[in-house]
Amino acid sequence: MADRLAVVTGASTGLGYQLARLAAQDGHDLIICADEDEIHTAADKLRSLGAQVEATVVDLSSKAGVDTFWAAVDGRPVDLFCANAGRALGQAFADQDWPDVKRLIDLNILQTTTVLHRIGRQMHARGQGRILVTGSIVGYVPGPYDAVYDATKAYLNSLCYALQDEWEGSPVTLTCLMPGPTETPIFHREGNDLEDAPIAEQDKDDPVKVAERGYAAAMEGQRGVVPGLHNRAITALTGLVPETILARIHRMAAEPQ
């Protein structure tokens, strides 16, 4: 058993799996969760790296799911927490079904805030810990046809920077990973309604490289990281270009064809 424990949500595929892999290679044991059975396949791969891994299928958009998640953690001290679970939802806002919109908000905002509050309090009481939250560069951009998703990422980006200021000087660090479009299953996952958006077929960033950059930033205690020169250029433009133009640029990538 390792001396350090990492908890990673949304770890079955994509960035979550890559972050869990990096934590395992760095000597952490793991508690991982996702809302799909693929989490067990991911756990088997991670065990081959020498880590002890506990995997749970859990829907963090529900109170019952959050309760199950805490039961898996079981009060154990967490050295690294990666808040990565989240969903997207494409199509026009008026065409989306309300239960899907609510689930997106509950998962991306409510569960992340709930878990951050509890894990953060635990880490502060212990006097150590690192947190990595997966935000996004779309949190800087009005997002037609991804309106609610982009708004949830704006919330996470803002929450992270606010907490970083509150925790300045604390041994507990919080890093916000803000990637651009990354080659993960999010664009083709059933229920996300992103298949018809142009961005689904465009070249995207490598999840291995994005995760490596985010993990390194978390270990260094950096406040935020935007992987990729192109993505950093976009975030720089957000302070200079009117929101109406940014929204139109986003629309070109997100409007279903």
For strands 80-83 and 224-225, give the pairing: unpaired
| CA pair distance 158, 156, nearest whole angstrom | 5
Per-residue pLDDT tens over the stretch 167-224 = 999 999 999 999 999 998 888 887 777 888 888 888 888 999 999 999 999 999 999 9
Task: Name which of 191, 160, 199 is nearest 177 in CA terms.
Answer: 160
Average pLDDT over residues 119-148: 95
CATH code, domain carrying 29: 3.40.50.720
Report the predicted TM-score, pTM, of the whole model to 2 decimal places: 0.93
Q: DSSP alpha helices (H): ranges in 35-175?
A: 38-47, 63-73, 98-105, 112-126, 147-166
* Domain range for 72: 4-254
Rounded to 5°, angle at Cα 120 from 119 and 125? 100
pLDDT score of 27 more than 90 = yes
CA–CA distance, 12 with 56 (Å, rounded to integer): 10
| Total number of domains in the chain | 1
Q: What local confidence, expressed as pLDDT, does residue 229 receive? A: 86
pLDDT of residue 15: 97
Higher pLDDT, 147 or 246: 147
Each residue of 234-245: pLDDT tens digit? 888 787 888 898
pLDDT in tens, 58-107: 999 999 999 999 999 999 999 999 999 998 999 999 999 999 999 999 99
Phi-psi region of 245 (alpha: psi -120 to 50; beta: other; left: phi over 0): alpha
The predicted pLDDT at position 67 comes to: 95
Alpha helices in the chain (DSSP H): 14-25, 38-47, 63-73, 98-105, 112-126, 147-166, 207-220, 229-237, 243-254
Q: Return d(Cα 88, Cα 149) in angstroms, integer.
A: 6
Over range 130-153, report the average pLDDT.
Answer: 95
Structure tokens, 62: 């529900």
Residue 126 has pLDDT above 90, yes or no: yes
The pLDDT-based confidence of 1 (bands split at 50, 70, 90) is low
**192 or 20, which is more confident:** 20
User: Could you give the residue numbers annotated as active site?
Assistant: 149
Instruction: For residue 33, give the H/E element and its range.
Output: strand 28-34
